Amino acid sequence: MQHILRELESKREEARLGGGQRRIDAQHAKGKLTARERLELLLDAGSFEEYDTFVEHRCSDFGMDQQKIPGDGVVTGWGTINGRQVFVFSQDFTVFGGALSEAHAEKICKVMDMAMRVGAPVIGLNDSGGARIQEGVASLAGYAEVFSRNVLASGVVPQISVIMGPCAGGAVYSPAMTDFIFMVKDSSYMFVTGPDVVKTVTQEELGGAITHTAKSSVADNAFENDVEALHQVRRMFDFLPLSNKEKPPTRPVYDEPDRIEPSLDTLVPANANKPYDMKELILKLVDEGDFFEIQPRYARNIITGFARIEGSTIGIVANQPMVLAGCLDIDSSRKAARFVRFCDAFNIPLLTLVDVPGFLPGTAQEYGGIIKHGAKLLFAFAEATVPKVTVITRKAYGGAYDVMSSKHLRGDVSYAWPTAEIAVMGAKGAVEIIFRSELGDPEKIAARTAEYAANFASPFKAANRGFIDEVIMPHSTRRRVARAFAMLRNKELANPWKKHDNIPL
Amino acid sequence: MFEKILIANRGEIACRVIKTARRMGIKTVAVYSDADADALHVEMADEAVHVGAPPAAQSYLLIDKILAACKATGAQAVHPGYGFLSEKAEFCNALEAAGIAFIGPSVRAIGAMGDKIESKKLARAAGVSTVPGVLDVIPNAEEAVKIAREIGYPVMIKASAGGGGKGMRIAWNDAEAREGFQSATNEARSSFADDRVFIEKFVTEPRHIEIQVLGDKHGNIIYLGERECSIQRRHQKVIEEAPSPFLDAATRKAMGEQAVALAREVGYHSAGTVEFIVDGARNFYFLEMNTRLQVEHPVTELITGVDLVEQMIRVAYGEPLSLTQDDVKLNGWAVEARVYAEDPTRGFLPSIGRLSHYRPPAEGADEHGWIVRNDTGVYEGAEISMFYDPMIAKLCTWAPTRIEAIHAQRAALDGFYIRGISHNISFVSAVLGHARFQEGRLTTGFIAEEFPDGFHGATLDAASRDALTAVAVATERRTAEREVQISGQSPFHGRVLPPDWVVTIDGDERAVVVDLAKGGYDVTFEGRLLAIRTDWLPGRKLLRGTVNGRAVVVQVDALADGFRLFHAGADIIAVVRSPRAAELARLMPVKVPPDTSRLLLCPMPGLVVSINVELGEEVKAGQTLAVVEAMKMENVLKAERDGKVAAVKAKKGDSLAVDQVILEFEGPGPRRRPARGRVTP
């Protein structure tokens, strides 16, 4: 009996070594951790429960029957993050370069199926050279099986991808269909067609972390190294519910919900064209100033991310006057729309902070399809049934006012600061249209502009109509917002039955 | 008594005067420029009058506007504060003509003391010790050498109209005297349009010590001890204290009596300051007399218990002094640190902008009777404007002894939380923590001598390093203890917090064992116990507690991974990990940030409005290099340090992306600190 137990232990030892010490050292030399080391950092100590340790590939072509390594290049199972369940797979670059075989794919599918059954998120740590070419179509079939599960799990359990090495070709489409992609700077790459084909650029320029976080928006954030990346995924995980059937988690909070912030009374500058940092409002508004930003380097004219109010997760969408005056454009609309839909899918209430002068004009925007891209954000806010609270700090002009979670899109509570200007456009522009015939007379125009500003460059016209529920003091924003979300805790709202909607993609 | 006074100033001094006036039951009128419409002094005053555009020359310096404000509000007297109109004789004349009292000395005194040479002659006449030298204007270089020999080298050649170090030369021999005379004359002519220079003895190991005098209109004049203001940076006082650690009673009395004699010579009334330079042998020489309230007057108030502003107001109203010289008793020790909006790690460049966080330490006396006083003109959410002196606050502490007052000051600085702009708190804390400062071995060259390469953050002593180790453990553990209380956990499968941790402080690893204790943790490190007790909770910006019974105050900014801790002038990053995580973290590559010190990068996507320098041009720190417009906002990009333009990579009208290169500079850039961790957004 004892020797059988010993045999299990020795087989496990062998499996834990993956591709062997030499390859582990090579992995370390590249500044990368091994698949199992990564899981140690991602999961609570001792919580990892491994499955399919001894799965091997079934390929016999090209001498592959001589090379079998238990686990076949991916470590799968489940564990906990701060005690909450999560399913994981971690590709092992030391085994066949992490290449995906049919068996490798089956292991991933197995944990995804379990995650769906029990309602727990899936975190994939990607570090793979691509398809196991020796297996041919069997490997491709494996990818498609994974893709198919990504799609079915979408909106059911949160899926997070961390790219920690290469991820190229068709393989990119699995992370692409998950909810969030994080990358590691200088050691991770994603591209459909590699630098061998696209010859004019480096691997880094084509698909490095900076490219995907700042240019393509494929990735949601990038971190310095494996340790930091996994720590950040743990931090983000604490914001998310386990599935679409659950409310977001709560935890004790050491920040008074009625904390007054007198400095917010001077946040909006007297000069309407002077920018201010919307992040200051976010940090002073949320619990303990703790904000997990999504896509911080992309379309910085809009801010998206997770925070907590009274210990419960909220999603924040905020115009950023510091960048492009906070206007909406193609990039910011797409970025925010996707974030809003994630929050709505997973019951995360939405707080929208508005200072938007309108849509960015120009041929680049029109040719790029701002009409359809802008519509995405409008669509996302309108279809969302989670609690929606909006605070207008300054400009809410034109169609952009409608888009930014306005009352008319089933916004639940809309507040405005006294500095808010809710109007079709700025006074100057409006007067130039309405009083075009008087344009030759600067005195008249000045008077008209002042009249328009007095009438519309305030929150009170909108408040008269009930489009704004209350004009609030900036310093009491946290208390007001906290009470609004408390009031909305048991909100129930359903959309009409449909197979699915047809968001303008 | 006056029923209403106007304060012709702004910022902390206006607020400070209003406080006393209010206590005396006098109504106050503030004046303000466009830039100060929301300023604290405007809010504190009973009335406020707008006097013009932001530049002082278009507002605070406009005598007509100030007079009109007095008339409009019925103010019977004006307190000028310091700077601005405080030492302008024509302002006093204008007030007198309008029948408004000036809360300050007579026009005669201001005029007599305003001229460097005249004031020295007066001082000699009054029997005041002056620096050996010849106050007459020196006609030529040969005469300069002759006089220099008579006085004895080293000598200082100084412009009559000089100030701010301009037109000043030190000569150690004949050749230098000849050369120095010429260059001082030239510089004086170009800087002040007045090429008169004079020669005096150059004082070695100089200290700046000044005597506070107070006189009334009835001929009573007393002195209120001295202030030591030797800690200066480019002739700007940074730290002041009272009394001086250097003076003995006899010297103090001699200096005080000479100061009074000088004040009597010019018929001085109100508060004034006689500045002396004191050498290593306690020889003291008159420098100049400031005919106004000094910035650093609070330290005198703290050790004498006299409210100088109140005395000034009473004297201006004509009351005789209620104090005699015998009533003046110096009690304990007071230290003032000037908190400036500037970046000490970047050559003290001024920093302007919004004070997103401004939390000063609590004022008043603590359980030991140590006192904290904070004179300020700002509040959280206020703006430090480019138009005025970038002083944020004057933080003063009082304690029975010098070392206790220093400790109180450092503790108060540790608890002074300012974010949004750069500030010098870490620098002044480092100066106060310097052994030479604590021993009282000061000279006006202290900063230049002790920080020759500028300031790069204080190094932690062993005790502070231990304290921060314990603080890092406490913050991480409290954070983790809350994390494991999240809802939705698998029952019985929660995360267990182990006792073993590794604390990394700026790269230095320490393996510790942590035991929960009442009100804190017992942290064992290399067999030593570091017992930390604190009520800190996640999200708090200040950690207050004790480590092995010693009180600590640490500023805590949560980072994405770890904490940035500020304490005793040090600014460090502390990360606390499990031993296994620390082991894996050691495998991570050390990334050297790209050297961007030689590049001017575009800070935001925008359009180039102008490139203000040319290829090959030598630029000075603070000089405008380029202007970039983003959504109608013009952003002025300035040089962080001196350099020469090696390449111009953009031109007017270019549309640039973030971090796109605009200019390149020649040569290796001056040493920069490695990039720090990001503050959690």
Closest CA to A161 of A138, A171, A170, A152: A171
Query: For residues B303 and B676, what is the distance between their CA atoms, to the nearest angstrom?
Result: 42
The pLDDT, as a whole number, for residue A328 is 96
Query: For residues B551 and B613, what is the distance between their CA atoms, to the nearest angstrom?
Result: 52
Tokens for B622?
């603070």
> In the sheet where B155-163 sits, what is the strand order?
B133-134, B197-201, B155-163, B166-171
Q: Quick one: B389 and B406 in the same domain?
A: yes
In CATH, what number is assigned to the domain containing residue B447? 3.30.470.20
Best of B352, B486, B573 to disrupt the A interface (most A CBs within 10 Å) is B486
SS3 state at B116: helix
Query: For residues A436 and A431, what is the distance between their CA atoms, to the nearest angstrom?
Result: 7
Q: Is the CB of A293 less than 8 angstroms away from the CB of B488?
A: no
- To 5 degrees, how large is the angle CA B265–CA B269–CA B271? 115
Most confident of the ranges A198-212, B208-222, B584-598: B208-222
Instruction: Give the model's confidence band at B670: pLDDT under 50 very low, under 70 low, under 90 confident, else very high.
Output: very low
Counts for chain A of helices (H) and strands (E), in that order: 18, 17
Parallel, antiparallel or unpaired: strands B236-242 and B197-201: unpaired
Residue B594 lies in a domain: no
Q: What is the mean pLDDT of residues B299-304?
A: 97
Among A225, A241, A296, the residue with its CB nearest the CB of B681 is: A296
Q: How many contacts, defined by CB atoms under 8 Å, are there between A and B?
A: 150
Best of B359, B485, B576, B587 to disrupt the A interface (most A CBs within 10 Å) is B587
CB atoms within 10 A of CB B615: 11
**Residue A416 phi, psi (nearest 5):** -135, 145
Among A80, A251, A265, the residue with its CB nearest the CB of B490 is: A80
pLDDT tens digits, one per residue of B652-661: 888 887 778 8
Residue B591 lies in a domain: no
* E strand map for A180-287: 180-184, 189-191, 221-223
The residues in B 622-681 lying below 8 A from A, measured between CB atoms, are 630-633, 658, 680-681
Query: For residues A282 and A263, what is the distance between their CA atoms, to the nearest angstrom?
Result: 13
Residue B354 lies in a domain: yes
Percentage of chain B beyond pLDDT 70 is: 96
Is residue B538 less than 8 Å (CB to CB) from chain A? yes
- What's the DSSP call for residue A495? P
In CATH, what number is assigned to the domain containing residue B466? 3.30.700.30
The pLDDT, as a whole number, for residue B636 is 78
Q: What is the mean pLDDT of residues A125-154?
A: 92
Q: Is the CB of A291 less than 8 angstroms away from the CB of B681?
A: yes
Is residue B329 less than 8 Å (CB to CB) from chain A? no
Q: Is the CB of A84 less than 8 angstroms away from the CB of B490?
A: yes
Overall number of domains in chain B: 6
Task: Identify the domain boundary among B171, B201, B231.
Answer: B201
Quote the minimal CA–CA distance from A279 to chain B in Å.
Answer: 8
| Complete DSSP assignment for B294-318 | -TTHHHHHHHH---HHHHHHHHHHT
Instruction: Give the model's confidence band at B677: pLDDT under 50 very low, under 70 low, under 90 confident, else very high.
Output: very low
**Annotated catalytic sites of A, by residue?**
169-170, 399-400
Query: For residues B109 and B267, what is the distance between their CA atoms, to the nearest angstrom?
Result: 7
Q: Quick one: B233 and B302 in the same domain?
A: yes
Quote the minimal CA–CA distance from B205 to chain A in Å.
Answer: 46
Closest CA to B678 of B564, B585, B571: B564
Q: Quick one: B187 and B245 in the same domain?
A: no
CB B530 within 8 A of CB B548: yes
Q: Is the CB of B379 less than 8 angstroms away from the CB of A262?
A: yes
CB B56 within 8 A of CB B388: yes
Quote the minimal CA–CA distance from A348 to chain B in Å.
Answer: 15
pLDDT tens digits, one per residue of A178-206: 999 999 999 999 998 877 777 778 888 88
Residue B142 lies in a domain: yes
Residue B345 lies in a domain: yes
Query: For residues B42 and B64, what is the distance between their CA atoms, to the nearest angstrom?
Result: 20
Q: Is the CB of A231 less than 8 angstroms away from the CB of B561?
A: yes
**Annotated catalytic sites of B, by residue?**
288
The pLDDT, as a whole number, for residue B631 is 53
Residue B317 lies in a domain: yes
The residues in B 468-507 lying below 8 A from A, measured between CB atoms, are 482-490, 493-496, 498
Closest CA to B303 of B391, B384, B242: B242
CB A394 within 8 A of CB A353: no
Q: Is the CB of A33 less than 8 angstroms away from the CB of B488?
A: no
- Position B297: which residue type? H
- What's the DSSP call for residue B127? T
Q: Quick one: B362 and B434 in the same domain?
A: yes
* Domain limits for position B433: 333-454
- B76-93 per-residue burial string, b: 16 or more CB within 10 A, e: under 16: bbbbbbbbbbbbbbebbe
In CATH, what number is assigned to the domain containing residue B627? 2.40.50.100
Tell which wins on pLDDT, B672 or B293.
B293
Query: For residues B666 and B617, what is the distance between their CA atoms, to the nearest angstrom?
Result: 10
Torsion sign across C-alpha atoms B18, B21, B25, B26: negative
Q: Quick one: B185 and B222 in the same domain?
A: no
CB B20 within 8 A of CB B310: yes
Task: Say what the pTM is.
Answer: 0.88
User: Considering only A27-41, A285-299, A377-391, B610-624, which range has the smallest mean pLDDT?
Assistant: B610-624
Query: For residues B532 and B524, what is the distance between their CA atoms, to the nearest angstrom?
Result: 11
In CATH, what number is assigned to the domain containing residue B170? 3.30.1490.20
Chain B hits for A279, Cβ within 8 Å: 681
Q: Which residues pair with B613 in a beta bridge?
A: none
The pLDDT, as a whole number, for residue B162 is 65
Task: Identify the domain boundary among B172, B201, B230.
Answer: B201
Q: What is the ipTM of this complex?
A: 0.92
Q: Which residues contact B671 (CB under 8 A, 6 or more apart)?
A: none
Chain B hits for A24, Cβ within 8 Å: none
Q: Which residues contact A147 (CB under 8 A, 6 or more apart)?
A: A173, A174, A177
Q: Quick one: B475 and B563 in the same domain?
A: yes
Q: Quick one: B212 and B324 in the same domain?
A: yes
Q: Is the CB of A290 less than 8 angstroms away from the CB of B38?
A: no
Q: Quick one: B232 and B187 in the same domain?
A: no
Is residue B537 less than 8 Å (CB to CB) from chain A? yes
Q: Quick one: B574 and B605 in the same domain?
A: no
Rg (CA), chain A: 26
Tokens for A88?
């994981």
Q: Is the CB of A47 less than 8 angstroms away from the CB of B488?
A: no
CB atoms within 10 A of CB B66: 27
CB atoms within 10 A of CB B68: 14
CB B311 within 8 A of CB B407: no
Q: Is the CB of A289 less than 8 angstroms away from the CB of B539?
A: yes
Q: Is the CB of A263 less than 8 angstroms away from the CB of B489?
A: no
Chain A hits for B483, Cβ within 8 Å: 82, 238, 251
Is residue A279 less than 8 Å (CB to CB) from chain B? yes
Closest CA to B539 of A354, A220, A283: A283
Q: Quick one: B148 and B176 in the same domain?
A: yes
Residue with tokens 């961390």: A162
Closest CA to A336 of A322, A315, A313: A315
Residue with tokens 């519509």: A375
Parallel, antiparallel or unpaired: strands A292-294 and A302-309: antiparallel
pLDDT tens digits, one per residue of B41-98: 999 999 999 999 999 999 999 999 999 999 999 999 999 999 899 999 999 999 999 9
Torsion of CA B551, B557, B562, B565, to 10 degrees: -40
Query: For residues A109 and A170, what is the distance between their CA atoms, to the nearest angstrom?
Result: 17
* E strand map for A82-146: 84-91, 122-126
Quote the minimal CA–CA distance from A67 to chain B in Å.
Answer: 29
Q: Quick one: B337 and B320 in the same domain?
A: no
Is residue A264 less than 8 Å (CB to CB) from chain B? yes
Task: Identify the domain boundary among B331, B358, B392.
Answer: B331
Q: What is the mean pLDDT of residues B290-294?
A: 94
Counts for chain B of helices (H) and strands (E), in that order: 17, 40
Q: Which residues contact B436 (CB under 8 A, 6 or more apart)?
A: B442, B446, B450
Whole-number Cα distances in Å, B29 to B1, B14, B19: 16, 10, 12
Is residue A266 less than 8 Å (CB to CB) from chain B? yes
Query: For residues A410 and A408, what is the distance between their CA atoms, to the nearest angstrom?
Result: 5
Torsion sign across C-alpha atoms A360, A363, A369, A372: positive
The chain-wide mean pLDDT, for chain B, equals 90
Percentage of chain A beyond pLDDT 70 is: 100
SS3 state at B223: strand
Closest CA to A67 of A99, A110, A35: A99
Whole-number Cα distances in Å, B321 to A116, B92, B311: 87, 22, 8
pLDDT tens digits, one per residue of A53-74: 988 888 777 777 778 888 889 9
**Residue A494 phi, psi (nearest 5):** -125, 150
Q: Quick one: B209 and B192 in the same domain?
A: no
Among A83, A185, A280, the residue with its CB nearest the CB of B490 is: A83
**Residue A77 phi, psi (nearest 5):** 155, -155
CB A56 within 8 A of CB A103: yes
Is the pLDDT reported for residue B673 higher than 50? Answer: no
The pLDDT, as a whole number, for residue B681 is 30
The pLDDT, as a whole number, for residue B633 is 60
The chain-wide mean pLDDT, for chain A, equals 93
Closest CA to B204 of B453, B452, B449: B449
Is the pLDDT reported for residue B358 higher than 90? Answer: yes
Chain B hits for A322, Cβ within 8 Å: 604
| Complete DSSP assignment for B592-626 | PPP--TTEEE-SSSEEEEEE---TT-EE-TT-EEE
Best of B355, B421, B493 to disrupt the A interface (most A CBs within 10 Å) is B493
Which residue does chain A place closest to B629, by CA atoms?
A324
Query: For residues B388 and B57, what is the distance between their CA atoms, to the nearest angstrom?
Result: 11
Is the pLDDT reported for residue A84 higher than 50? Answer: yes
Residue B123 lies in a domain: no
Is the pLDDT reported for residue B115 higher than 90? Answer: no
Which residue does chain A place closest to B38, by CA atoms?
A266
Q: Is the CB of A251 less than 8 angstroms away from the CB of B482?
A: yes
Residue B124 lies in a domain: no
User: Considering only A190-204, A491-505, B263-277, B470-484, which range has the smallest mean pLDDT?
Assistant: A190-204
SS3 state at A137: helix
